[in-house]
Chain A
Amino acid sequence: MNLTLTINGEPVAVPNVSPTMTLLQYLRASGRVGTKEGCADGDCGACTVAVIGEGSDGKLHYQAMNSCIVPLVSMAEREIVTVEGVANGSLHPVQEAMVKTGGSQCGYCTPGFIMSLFAAYYDGTVDDLAVEGNLCRCTGYASIRRAAALVTGAAPVDAFSERLQHPLNPLPPLGLADRESPSEQPFYRPGALSEVLMLLQRYPEAMLVAGATDLGLELSHHRQQFPILISLEAVTDLRFIDRRHDAVEIGAAVPLSHIEDQLRGVFPSLDEMLHWFAARQVRNRATLGGNIGTASPIGDLPPVLLSLDATLRIAGPNGERQIPLCDFFKGYRQTDLQPGEVIVSVIIPTSPIPGSQRRLSQSYKVGKRGTDDISIVAAAFTIDLDADNRILHARLGYGGVAATPARARGVEDLLIGQPWNAATIELAKVALYDAFTPLTDLRGSAEYRKRLVVNLFEKFFVQHP
């Protein structure tokens, strides 16, 4: 397909784009080699660019993204800034700061850091979190932290901040011009759920793509060809967060960074897990629907959602249905999703069950590296206690210990009616040790995983006596 986008303020037309081409490949092939490839995996941040997008506050922001896992087609009609576009006659303040503090040594990671810092600069807070997704092997980060300190808290007024004052054109639907006749178009970006459903009917082999942080790896790394891609990015009916009196409903295509911002404080276990989920570049793109749809046994949000009794809303050719998340995962990377169906939203009840006096809820993630790592084990617990400190309701969700994200149901049953005390925990510990039969893999041994299943619950008790 042919597409247009804006790069560093210049409109650019790109003919014959293959849907498997990543934004990074395009940038480098077109001579914009300032943006580097360090991994093509979404893990190092060397390829970071800033994309103008709407934040959860409805305002425009520069959003850092890993261009190596962004399909170029999904940037159609968008505006991006690359490292080449940051200096405006003279160096940008974030560039100056990095020069001054010695924030670059070999310099190969630097363009990525500049773009992460740049994006954060216009949000006013330039801290460690802004560059957590950028690996540097040379500096040990201290000088980069000193650079960040020089530019944090600014209220910039410049051409870049000015740009954010002008509204963005809504993402136009793509590939749908000729709705009735079958088209050669391999990439669709519909604007409404009904169109997604229609496309799925017409092309049963089509693949849905949301943030592409899972799928992008297939493109970038495995050079996998998908016959037809249907992007959910412009589907407004999938991008909402609805806070009701008894529940929160989150649209499947809402990026995780919006959930982070808008729901902070509502579900402590969700806040905690989002904090440990990948890094900002990924959270700016990754969606809740993608994390569930990909059905990975080590997906981090399913354990949290399981512990919160979440329900999925699913739309398909025969209308809508709802299914509790705990019934959704059927086997290793298998779900209850039927051909032609789309996850619309996730509904999370907010109130503890009747009679409850106190709700305890928290989540934990253990990886080899604290930050931006895939879980060895993720766990999320919700316990509702009555006035006598007895357990009324228990949900223990785990990831990384079975073929799917799973609840320790046997242990939940055992807990009901017990007092929330050390003796009960001892009982639960024995049962938890045998609750799952995890595998040994490169991240950890089966025995370690079994111990984490137990120990994380004990930790939860110690922290929430």
Chain B
Amino acid sequence: MGSVGERRSHESAVGHVSGKATYTDDQRPPIGMVSLYPVLSPHAHARITKIDVAAAYEVAGVVTVLTAEDVPGENDTGVIVRDEILLPTEEIHYWGQAVVWVVGETEDAAREGAARVIVEYEPLVPILSIREAIAADSFHVPLQVFRRGEAATALESADYSLSGEVEMNGQDHFYLETQASWVIPDTEGNYHVYASTQHPTETQVVVARVLGIATNQVIVTCLRMGGGFGGKESQANPYAALAAMAARKTGRPARVRLQRHHDMILTGKRHGFLGRYQVGFAADGKITALAVELYSDGGWSMDLSPPVLMRAMLHVDNAYYIPHIEVKGRIAKTNRVSNTAFRGFGGPQGMIVIEDIVDRIARTLNLPPHRVRERNFYHGSGETNTTHYGQEIFDNRIDRVWTEVKTNARFEERRQAIAEFNREHPYCKRGLAITPVKFGISFNKTQYNQAGALVLIYTDGSIQLNHGGTEMGQGLHTKMLQVAAKTLGVSIERFRVMPTSTDKVPNTSATAASSGSDLNGQAVKDACETLKSRLAIVAARMLNLDSPEAFVFEDDWIYCKTYPSYRLSFSEVAQQAYNERVSLAATGFYRTPNIYWDSKTAKGRPFYYFAFGAAVSEVEVDGFTGTFKLRQVDIVHDVGESLNPLVDQGQIEGAFVQGMGWLTMEELVWDPQGQLRTYAPSTYKIPTISEVPEHFQIHLLERAPQEGVIYGSKAVGEPPFMLAMSVREAIREAVAAFAHGQPVPYVPLAAPATPEATLWAIERVRAAASESVEQPLLTS
């Protein structure tokens, strides 16, 4: 049944539009459920000198208060190392850290109680930026170094060299549904957690750890999430653990649902990065050597920062072949929220650095940036098509996506037209830019690259589909239905996708790293194939035939391909299987083959394959205010043989706009005391529909099956996020045009390029242009 490859709407679409799709906090409240509310620290770094919760109990409706003393197990939710205290006892590590949680009959009662809690502090000196951390030598893990060739020597012998810095801000996930967990205790010491989590297994493990009970006493179920983007991978755990603590202490169901501002204050975000580089290049713009240091802002605890940094280091090449390269990475330990996974997982930050460098090379040489990009692409085979960590890009599609999008967008023609426009408009300038994306697919951590599924057929022929992935809007369940329906040759309507639950599929990986459908798809297929082979035997017996392997499952029918007119209905065979005592339940399993990583040499094949894309963006920048308008976007993106073009297109559009927000308007502002000042949508601005251009064309690369991946498809969640780099580069082009035809060798642009930052960039360019009238740019 050809449901794979169809433009199918989201399996919950009808539920979404009618308000019937249930999210964690929409469930019917169980009797006696209590709610939690936090007491936040007003300091970024402080010693706690006193916690007095007595007054909270005076508030009607306050049930209890949770402090460190109430933790029955370990008071730590760290996921890679144990450095993340859940309820602090001595020290406060970031502004807004929750010190105490008040449990009330209602959220309002808990809130009032929280207002009465007395906490006293002795403020300490905080470290509030990467630069301060570098100065104070405050880091999370030892320095990491990846190398190819001899960067130092090659830099010395380079024809040209430049050094500089690139800094970029973090990003709040701003999933529309904030963190939420409900925990229902039973009377026998077990807990059922309903959590908005991308990683139910980890939530289960952390809840068990905090409660000091065995993992099998905890079930974690994720119904669906109102968005995740990485922000509910590790970040969901503390709130589930807190609700579980409350449930244990009170014996009643307990609920945490963060208010938006608490969510933004408490939870980790995309890492801000600082890159420092020295680059060597030739007169044609080809990079000969690069030494780069990447510093990420890890925040107060480690969380997932090491793999995020690693991905940044593995993506600092983007699509470019750099013969001699040395990448150093460090994670700054600061008094800020603990930064975490966010779509791209460090990849975007690494790629921004190299795109900045490539642009600067182009301007230094007065060459068009797109030419310099092209000249540096990975190409051919062997060395020039091999990354700095030793993985050859076997199916290199950079050139295909690049050429195709250039044609679709009429890139050369529009470049001319824009130059013309800019000559005629002194006060506003247009910019056109094209940027490539190459993104490695697989979890960096090899053991995460596994998945399980459980498929249950009932005697009426209806089916329940379980798999280890969670649904956060990315359409995973829809794709899994398509895979299962195709594999079993039945209609999608037979299935019910079950909420992801750790009692159905255990020991799962996070639904992250864009891997959801690659991994779970194979596991689902595996389970369906097991069932199919069992049913084929039953069907063969029913038809008195003896070659079950020749049986075809198609359109809800089962038949032998030699005798297609003798058909059995799927339900009939299911019923007969039951009668014959053949199991109608099967698990499926998958592990990604052929990936390995040698952490000593920093070489290996960390990625099963790469996803590719390229985007052309055009902007218009107002020279009075620094504001910009995105006028047109064209994208060609490689999703292999799309499992579902409707879903994939939606992923690309959504990722692009999210990336555009990160790079242009989403500004996290911390004040000098380390207080986050942008913790609500009134101050932290994500794009609205009006920031999205009418002309927003997405083309999926055609005839591009990916070998070894479920039905030839490719991962799509993260890679298109980085297509938004084209917007940043287009703004830079427009800014550069304010030099009125003078070449300007360096156009630094802050990330995000807010109107203010853009105005300052324009000022710089204007100043540089008036200077360069006297001084020729480049002599060589």
Interface residues of A (CB under 8 A from B): 31, 33-36, 38-41, 43-44, 46, 82-84, 86-87, 91, 94-95, 98-100, 102-111, 114, 128, 131-145, 221, 223, 279, 364, 366-374, 376, 441-445, 448, 451-452, 455-456, 458-459, 462
Check if A128 sits within 8 Å of B690, measured CB to CB.
Answer: yes
Least Cβ distance of A117 to chain B in Å? 10
| A interface footprint on B490-514 (CB within 8 Å = 1, 0 otherwise) | 0000000000000000000000000
Least Cβ distance of B726 to chain A in Å? 14
Check if A46 sits within 8 Å of B176, measured CB to CB.
Answer: yes
Among the listed B647, B658, B667, which residue makes an inter-chain contact with A368, where contact means beta carbons less than 8 Å apart? B667
Check if A223 sits within 8 Å of B681, measured CB to CB.
Answer: no
A190 to B689, CA, bound (A): 39
Check if B17 sits within 8 Å of A110, measured CB to CB.
Answer: yes
Among the listed B15, B228, B627, B685, which residue makes an inter-chain contact with A107, where contact means beta carbons less than 8 Å apart? B15
A137 to B657, CA, bound (A): 8
User: Given A46-B176, A223-B111, are A108 and B23 also a contact pair (CB < 8 Å)?
Assistant: yes
B757 to chain A: closest residue by CB: A448
Among the listed A40, A142, A445, which residue makes an inter-chain contact with B259, where contact means beta carbons less than 8 Å apart? A40
A141 to chain B: closest residue by CB: B689
Check if B653 sits within 8 Å of A142, measured CB to CB.
Answer: yes
User: Given A83-B19, A95-B17, A107-B16, are A141 and B692 also a contact pair (CB < 8 Å)?
Assistant: yes
B407 within 8 A of A: no
Check if A452 sits within 8 Å of B754, measured CB to CB.
Answer: no
Among the listed B10, B175, B225, B625, which residue makes an inter-chain contact with A104, where contact means beta carbons less than 8 Å apart? B10
Check if B177 sits within 8 Å of A442, measured CB to CB.
Answer: no
A33 to chain B: closest residue by CB: B26
A379 to B558, CA, bound (A): 73
Question: Which residues 678-693 of B sit at the A interface, judged by CB distance below 8 A?
Answer: 678, 680-683, 685-692
Contacts of A369 in B (CB 8 A): 665, 685, 687-688, 691
User: Given A102-B649, A462-B427, are A131 and B689 also a contact pair (CB < 8 Å)?
Assistant: yes
Question: Which residues 419-443 of B sit at the A interface, judged by CB distance below 8 A?
Answer: 427
B49 within 8 A of A: no
Least Cβ distance of A289 to chain B in Å? 22
Q: Write 20 A-B pairs (CB below 8 A) sorted by A numbering.
A: A38-B177, A41-B260, A84-B18, A105-B654, A107-B224, A108-B226, A133-B688, A134-B689, A137-B176, A137-B658, A141-B687, A141-B688, A141-B692, A142-B692, A366-B755, A372-B688, A374-B683, A442-B671, A459-B427, A459-B625
User: Given A36-B226, A128-B689, A366-B627, are A84 and B17 also a contact pair (CB < 8 Å)?
Assistant: no
Contacts of B28 in A (CB 8 A): 31
Check if B474 sits within 8 Å of A105, measured CB to CB.
Answer: yes
B94 within 8 A of A: no
Check if B680 sits within 8 Å of A41, measured CB to CB.
Answer: yes
The 7 closest A-B CB pairs, nearest first, are A34-B19, A106-B473, A108-B226, A107-B16, A140-B657, A140-B653, A105-B473
Least Cβ distance of A68 to chain B in Å? 10
Check if A143 sits within 8 Å of B677, measured CB to CB.
Answer: no
Check if B650 sits within 8 Å of A143, measured CB to CB.
Answer: yes
A138 to B656, CA, bound (A): 10
Excluding A107-B12, A140-B692, A279-B688, 6 further A-B contacts by CB distance (< 8 Å) are: A98-B16, A108-B176, A108-B177, A137-B229, A142-B653, A370-B629
Contacts of B647 in A (CB 8 A): 102
Contacts of B690 in A (CB 8 A): 128, 132, 370-371
Check if B18 sits within 8 Å of A456, measured CB to CB.
Answer: no
Check if B625 sits within 8 Å of A44, measured CB to CB.
Answer: no
User: Given A107-B226, A137-B658, are A43 and B681 also a contact pair (CB < 8 Å)?
Assistant: yes
Least Cβ distance of A201 to chain B in Å? 33
A452 to chain B: closest residue by CB: B625
Check if A99 sits within 8 Å of B685, measured CB to CB.
Answer: no
Contacts of A43 in B (CB 8 A): 680-682
Contacts of B650 in A (CB 8 A): 102, 105, 138-140, 143
User: Given A102-B646, A223-B108, are A370 and B627 also a contact pair (CB < 8 Å)?
Assistant: yes
Among the listed B21, B653, B683, which residue makes an inter-chain contact with A442, where contact means beta carbons less than 8 Å apart? B683
The number of inter-chain residue pairs (CB within 8 angstroms) is 230
A84 to B692, CA, bound (A): 29
B720 to chain A: closest residue by CB: A140
B472 within 8 A of A: yes
Check if A36 sits within 8 Å of B177, measured CB to CB.
Answer: yes
A93 to B296, CA, bound (A): 48
B759 within 8 A of A: yes
User: Given A107-B224, A368-B754, are A87 and B18 also a contact pair (CB < 8 Å)?
Assistant: yes
Secondary structure type dominating chain B contacts = loop
Question: Which residues 1-50 of B sit at the A interface, judged by CB distance below 8 A?
Answer: 7, 9-10, 12-23, 25-26, 28
Check if A99 sits within 8 Å of B259, measured CB to CB.
Answer: no
| A interface footprint on B471-485 (CB within 8 Å = 1, 0 otherwise) | 011110000000000
Check if A139 sits within 8 Å of B9, measured CB to CB.
Answer: no
Contacts of A371 in B (CB 8 A): 688-691
Question: Which residues 148-192 of B sit at the A interface, judged by CB distance below 8 A?
Answer: 173-178
A458 to B622, CA, bound (A): 12
User: Given A95-B17, A371-B688, A443-B683, are A106 and B226 also a contact pair (CB < 8 Å)?
Assistant: yes
B22 to chain A: closest residue by CB: A33
Contacts of A132 in B (CB 8 A): 688-690
Question: Which residues 178-231 of B sit at the A interface, judged by CB distance below 8 A?
Answer: 178, 224-229
B655 within 8 A of A: yes
Check if B682 sits within 8 Å of A140, measured CB to CB.
Answer: no
Check if B16 sits within 8 Å of A442, measured CB to CB.
Answer: no
A109 to B174, CA, bound (A): 12
Check if A442 sits within 8 Å of B627, measured CB to CB.
Answer: no
Contacts of B755 in A (CB 8 A): 366-368, 376
User: Given A95-B18, A369-B691, are A136 and B176 also a contact pair (CB < 8 Å)?
Assistant: yes
Check if A145 sits within 8 Å of B692, measured CB to CB.
Answer: yes
Contacts of B174 in A (CB 8 A): 135, 137
Least Cβ distance of A180 to chain B in Å? 34
B696 within 8 A of A: yes
Among the listed B17, B225, B654, B689, which residue makes an inter-chain contact with A114, where contact means beta carbons less than 8 Å apart? B17
Check if A106 sits within 8 Å of B177, measured CB to CB.
Answer: yes
Check if A91 sits within 8 Å of B756, measured CB to CB.
Answer: no
Contacts of A99 in B (CB 8 A): 9, 13-14, 17
| A interface footprint on B625-641 (CB within 8 Å = 1, 0 otherwise) | 10101000000000000
Among the listed B10, B176, B229, B678, which residue makes an inter-chain contact with A135, where contact means beta carbons less than 8 Å apart? B176
A106 to B680, CA, bound (A): 20
Contacts of B692 in A (CB 8 A): 140-142, 145
Contacts of B23 in A (CB 8 A): 36, 108
Check if B17 sits within 8 Å of A106, measured CB to CB.
Answer: no
Check if A83 sits within 8 Å of B18, measured CB to CB.
Answer: yes
Least Cβ distance of B224 to chain A in Å? 7
Contacts of B177 in A (CB 8 A): 36, 38, 106, 108
A262 to B440, CA, bound (A): 56
Check if A82 sits within 8 Å of B653, measured CB to CB.
Answer: no
A279 to B682, CA, bound (A): 12
Among the listed B19, B111, B176, B475, which residue makes an inter-chain contact with A44, where contact means beta carbons less than 8 Å apart? B176
Contacts of B14 in A (CB 8 A): 91, 95, 99
Greatest chain A CB density within 10 A among B472, B625, B683, B698 is at B625
Contacts of B691 in A (CB 8 A): 369-371
Contacts of A111 in B (CB 8 A): 16-17, 19
| A interface footprint on B74-117 (CB within 8 Å = 1, 0 otherwise) | 00000000000000000000000000000000001001000000
A374 to B684, CA, bound (A): 11
Contacts of B681 in A (CB 8 A): 38-39, 41, 43-44, 135
Least Cβ distance of A434 to chain B in Å? 18
Least Cβ distance of B527 to chain A in Å? 26
Least Cβ distance of A95 to chain B in Å? 4
A367 to B756, CA, bound (A): 9
A270 to B654, CA, bound (A): 34
Greatest chain B CB density within 10 A among A35, A144, A451 is at A451
Greatest chain A CB density within 10 A among B22, B225, B683 is at B683
Least Cβ distance of B689 to chain A in Å? 4
Least Cβ distance of B422 to chain A in Å? 16
